[in-house]
């Protein structure tokens, strides 16, 4: 006679398997972090093999027949807690999706990611897109295969976006970016007609160490726990997490452009606070992971823009910054500094773009990705297409490949479908910050006195603690009472830039 296992035993077996797979994925993430921060150039080939092995092992664990049977058994039990039910249900969704990818495909795309990243690094060093193009071609082929394996109803790009933003479709994003194309140009036009603000003081010489030290001070004020994280340098700023107790950020420095490091650090610090705020008791389980990339980006954009580029923040931190750079900023008032940091001007580099033009940068990448995955665009056409679209939307053209098509690492990583979450994040951020101001009565005063952790605590309770319990839309409705609303971002942007540029 077969002995029926208790729900407690079944859940314990499920948890053990899921967390072991997380251990493998996080070991892989450590190697990935090392690859982008410290790894010597000759290590790329073997590192690609190591990453592929770990990814393949984790994939096999989470797609095994035994694991699938375990999840199905759990689904039939009625005595699980709400948390246990939600974890098991989300894991079954993940299992069903992962099952569609063969181990051979997982290994192939992991190895190709390493090869593409290496080619991207070399291309940037030599400022030559042609070095990267063949490896990017291989990645695009694999991403098309992945979309086909996952399946989709209307557009192959839907399957890839769903990886980062559950439920996102081309139809939805076309509507969102339709609002961008319809409403943002009018604001940009008003700004162009106004007298331009001065940001020349940002281009003075700011020694690396002082920039670094100030960024550390700001991260600490935000509540970033340096006993559970660290900051390093990388080619492209990023955040990586191995557990809430080990979350790392990277940034980059330009001694002749102060804005390059600080806001990257604040941005990545927002991501890191989210990861450090996830419940460690749910390590490796869905409720211990971020809701979506759009929500993740809302945390970084809220800290970078609503806080780090806001007036309240600098009423406290500007005098501290002047202590680090007394000569560079002795003739710059806090008002001039605030206006300069929020200068709106069409430019080439997405990560350094202002809040208004930023969304045209994302729109361009979204439209290019759609075309590459649908087969309407080819990799060899990218430099020309890139420049044409930048001229169309922003009136600028890249002077070379490094400032153009080679500026982002995402395609080298195979992260097709990721870019739209950047704009979604900004729009969610506007709603969340608007709600925080309503609920935390003394928030503005607290920020003006350098007290930032009250906002961190609010975000812990409203966003971080839930993990993947809710979709982005569900979470937004729970926090603000309604789903994604582009008009909140537009109201915020119009009010902010009318004050900076002096128009109605």
Q: How far is CA 255 from CA 97, 202, 227, in A?
A: 46, 10, 28
* Best CA proximity match to 364, nearest among 384, 385, 346, 380: 385
Q: 65 an active-site residue? A: no
The full 3-state SS of 447-498, as one line of letters, equals: HHCCCCHHHHHHHHHHCHHHCCCCCHHHHHHHHHCCCCCHHHHHHHHHHHHH
Count other C-beta atoms under 10 Å from residue 330's C-beta.
8
- What tokens appear for 271 in the block? 């991501």
Helix (H, G, I), strand (E, B) or coil at 361: helix
Q: Are 148 and 102 in contact (CB under 8 A)?
A: no
Residue listed under structure tokens 């680090």 = 324
Contacts of range 169-172, beta carbons closer than 8 Å, 24 or more positions apart: 170/370
Q: CA-to-CA distance for 386 and 397, rounded, in angstroms? A: 8
Residue listed under structure tokens 């020694």 = 207
What are the beta bridge partners of residue 247?
229, 241
Angle of the 472-480 helix axis to the 420-439 helix axis, nearest 10: 20
Among 163, 268, 367, 369, which one carries the catalytic annotation?
A: 268
- Listing DSSP states for 208-277 in one string gives HHHHHHHHHHHHHHHT--TTSEEEEE-SS--EEEEETTEEEEEE---TT-THHHHHHHHHHHHHHHHHHH
- Helical residues (DSSP H) of 378-419, grouped into ranges: 382-394
- Upper half-sphere CA count for residue 194 (Cβ side, 13 Å): 20
Q: What count of residues does the chain have?
A: 504
Q: For each of the chain's 504 residues, which pLDDT tens digit applies?
A: 445 678 899 999 999 999 999 999 999 999 989 988 889 989 988 988 898 899 889 989 999 999 999 999 999 888 999 999 999 999 999 999 988 999 899 889 989 998 999 999 999 999 999 999 999 999 999 999 999 999 999 999 999 999 999 989 999 999 999 999 999 999 999 999 999 999 999 999 999 999 999 999 999 999 999 999 999 998 778 999 999 999 999 999 999 999 889 999 999 999 999 999 999 999 999 999 999 999 999 999 999 999 999 999 999 999 999 999 999 999 999 999 999 999 999 999 998 899 999 999 999 999 999 999 999 999 999 999 999 999 999 999 999 999 999 999 999 999 999 999 999 999 999 999 999 999 999 999 999 999 999 999 999 999 999 999 999 999 999 999 999 999 999 999 999 999 999 987
Q: CA-to-CA distance for 362 and 161, rounded, in angstroms? A: 14
DSSP conformational letter for 2? P
């Amino acid at each position: 006679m077969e002995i029926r296992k208790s729900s407690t035993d079944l859940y314990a077996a499920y948890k053990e398997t899921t967390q072991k797979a997380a251990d493998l994925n996080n070991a892989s993430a450590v190697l990935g972090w090392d690859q982008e921060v410290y790894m010597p150039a000759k290590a790329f080939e073997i590192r690609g093999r190591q990453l592929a092995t770990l990814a393949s092992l984790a994939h096999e664990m989470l797609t095994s027949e035994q694991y699938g049977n375990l999840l199905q058994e759990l689904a039939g039990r009625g005595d699980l807690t709400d948390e246990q039910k939600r974890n098991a249900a989300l894991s079954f969704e993940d299992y069903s999706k992962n099952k569609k990818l063969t181990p051979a495909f997982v290994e192939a795309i992991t190895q190709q990611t390493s090869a593409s990243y290496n080619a991207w690094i070399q291309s940037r060093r030599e400022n030559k897109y042609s070095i990267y193009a063949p490896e990017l071609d291989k990645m695009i082929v694999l991403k098309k295969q992945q979309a086909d394996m996952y399946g989709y109803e209307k557009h192959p790009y839907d399957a890839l976006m769903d990886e980062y933003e559950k439920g996102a479709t081309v139809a939805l994003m076309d509507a969102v970016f339709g609002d961008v194309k319809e409403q943002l140009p009018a604001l940009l036009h008003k700004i162009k007609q106004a007298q331009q603000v001065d940001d020349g003081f940002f281009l003075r010489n700011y020694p690396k160490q002082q920039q670094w030290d100030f960024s550390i001070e700001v991260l600490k004020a935000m509540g970033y726990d340096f006993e559970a994280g660290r900051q390093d340098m990388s080619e492209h700023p990023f955040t990586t997490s191995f557990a809430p107790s080990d979350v790392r950020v990277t940034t980059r420095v330009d001694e002749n452009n102060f804005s390059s490091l600080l806001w990257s650090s604040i941005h990545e610090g927002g991501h890191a606070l989210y990861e450090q705020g996830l419940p460690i008791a749910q390590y490796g389980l869905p409720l211990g992971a971020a809701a979506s990339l759009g929500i993740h980006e809302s945390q970084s954009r809220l800290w970078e823009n609503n806080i780090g580029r806001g007036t309240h923040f600098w009423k406290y931190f500007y005098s501290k910054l002047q202590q680090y750079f007394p000569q560079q900023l002795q003739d710059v008032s806090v008002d001039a500094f605030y206006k300069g940091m929020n200068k709106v001007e069409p430019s080439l580099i997405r990560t350094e773009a202002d809040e208004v033009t930023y969304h045209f940068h994302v729109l361009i990448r979204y439209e290019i990705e759609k075309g590459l995955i649908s087969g309407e665009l080819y990799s060899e056409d990218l430099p020309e297409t890139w420049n044409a679209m930048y001229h169309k939307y922003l009136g600028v053209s890249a002077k070379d490949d490094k400032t153009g098509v080679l500026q982002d690492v995402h395609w080298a990583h195979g992260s097709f479908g990721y870019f739209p979450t950047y704009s979604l994040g900004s729009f969610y951020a506007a709603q969340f910050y608007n709600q925080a101001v309503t609920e935390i009565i003394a928030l503005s005063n607290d920020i003006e006195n350098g007290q930032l952790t009250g906002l961190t605590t609010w975000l812990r309770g409203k966003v971080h603690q839930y993990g993947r319990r809710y979709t982005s839309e569900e979470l937004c409705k729970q926090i603000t009472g309604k789903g994604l609303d582009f008009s909140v971002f537009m109201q915020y942007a119009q009010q902010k830039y009318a004050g900076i540029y002096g128009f109605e």
